[in-house]
Amino acid sequence: MVENVRELLKAHEGLKHEVYLDIENSSFVAPEVVEAMLPYFNKRAYGNPTLTHKPGWEAFEAIMESAQKIAGYLGCKSLEEVNFTPGETEANNLALLGAASQIRAKRGKIVVSEIEPLSVVHVAEMLSKQGFSVVKVPVDGEGFVNLEKLKEAVDGETVLASFSMVNHEIGTIQPIKEIAEIVKDKNPNAIVHTDASDAYGKIPFKVQSLNVDMATISSYKILGPRGIGALYVKEGVNIERILEGQIGTQKLWPGVENTPLIVGFARASELVFERFEENVSHMRRLRDKLINGIINRIHDVKLNGPKGEKRAPDNVNISFLRCEGEALTIELSLNGVYVSSGSACTRRLLQPSHVLTAIGRRFEEAHGSILMKVTRLHTEADIDYVLEVLPKAVERLRGITGSTVVE
């Protein structure tokens, strides 16, 4: 296996242009974020923030300042509503398991959509084995939650609901405020969680206006460092820790806080929100250029998810008929274009994306899908290069010539 990887890496030597679009699964870190983090590794704030010495006090101050910034961007009442975790997966687990632990005696119903990330879907399925009733609400062909089915699903027994604000694979922007109102109307005491990782820094929202009790956000999806995320927990909402250990500044997540990553998360947030409209407009322009370029140049493709304003500004998900997605990712990689086939959670299992099958894509359509996400740092030249490489890669893999590429 190691030798195969080394051979593949050697085949990439000498590439003149590289475009990384696999932001869903990992990301490069913005240079300004790296610069902001560096001093916190060995020059200052490297202490434990709970200890009474200068490095510890510096770490405490850095963490609190970072939490204050992120709380401001989220529209929290206070920085105490921001709880740092090692990432999106951990935040989603904390949200669902922590809420379930608090309401375990009641059991009751948990409602999610069919297209939630696996860190929500799998936790819900696990809780179903512990006595909770779990209902998965269907979506339409563009990934929007069927609100009528939602109204049928929720009732006075509903204790917890989790719906992503933006779908991580196909970019569908859900009406989260309306969804929360439907749930709360049936049971005002129900806890509503949203995974807002693909919304934070990309679509405007404030948690207080959404009527949600908890929200997950992630650092790397805004070009911050990997290994850090956060869970907003509304003041007055009680959930329990799911891990035990030394408690520091984060009451819901034990252990010594990773100060450099927290500082990096806050700096990445600053860079996004300082020029929010400009950044979003730039991503939307590149997104549309990529989508339209693919549709105009390549036959037999399907856009997965909605178009225009109903779609996240960074998301491009296309199914290439008669073309296997994993093979296409390799072919593109050899030409310096880095994308993913399906989600990282499912691709090594050789199973089609549960999101794509939920919106009605056939097995072969799901397996022929490519997910790409643009960022504020991508350029027009990057998209031009992708549109130069991609049609040739598809044509080669399909094994045909003139009928694939439209001049």
Among candidate residues 182, 323, 345, 359, the one labeled active-site is 345
Give CA–CA dist 360/53, Å, rounded.
58
Q: Tokens 């290994």 identify what position?
A: 227
Output Rg (C-alpha) for the chain, integer angstroms.
Answer: 22
Could you give the domains of the chain? 2-21+276-398 (3.90.1150.10), 32-273 (3.40.640.10)
CB 214 within 8 A of CB 233: yes
Residues 14-51 pLDDT 10s: 788 999 999 999 999 999 999 999 999 988 778 888 88
C-beta separation of 159 from 135 below 8 A:
no
**What pLDDT is stored for residue 293 in this prediction?**
98
SS3 content of the chain, % helix, strand, coil (to 5): 45, 15, 40
Positive or negative, the CA dihedral 94, 195, 192, 231 is: positive
Stated pTM of the model: 0.93
DSSP track, 287-353: HHHHHHHHHHHBSSEEE-S--GGGB-TTEEEEEETTS-HHHHHHHHHTTTEE-BSS-TTTGGGT---
**Do strands 214-218 and 191-195 pair parallel, antiparallel, or not at all (unpaired)?**
parallel
Question: What are the average pLDDT values for consecutive 10-residue runs of the chain, which has 407 residues?
Answer: 72 85 96 96 84 88 97 97 97 97 80 98 96 96 98 96 98 98 96 98 97 97 98 96 89 93 98 98 98 97 97 98 93 96 58 93 94 98 98 91 45
Question: Is residue 323 among the annotated active site residues?
Answer: no
CB distance 62 to 45 below 8 Å? yes
Pairing of β 109-113 and β 19-20: unpaired
Cα torsion 300, 304, 308, 309 to 10°: value is: 180
CA distance 112 to 301: 30
Query: Tell me, what's the pLDDT at 402?
Result: 46
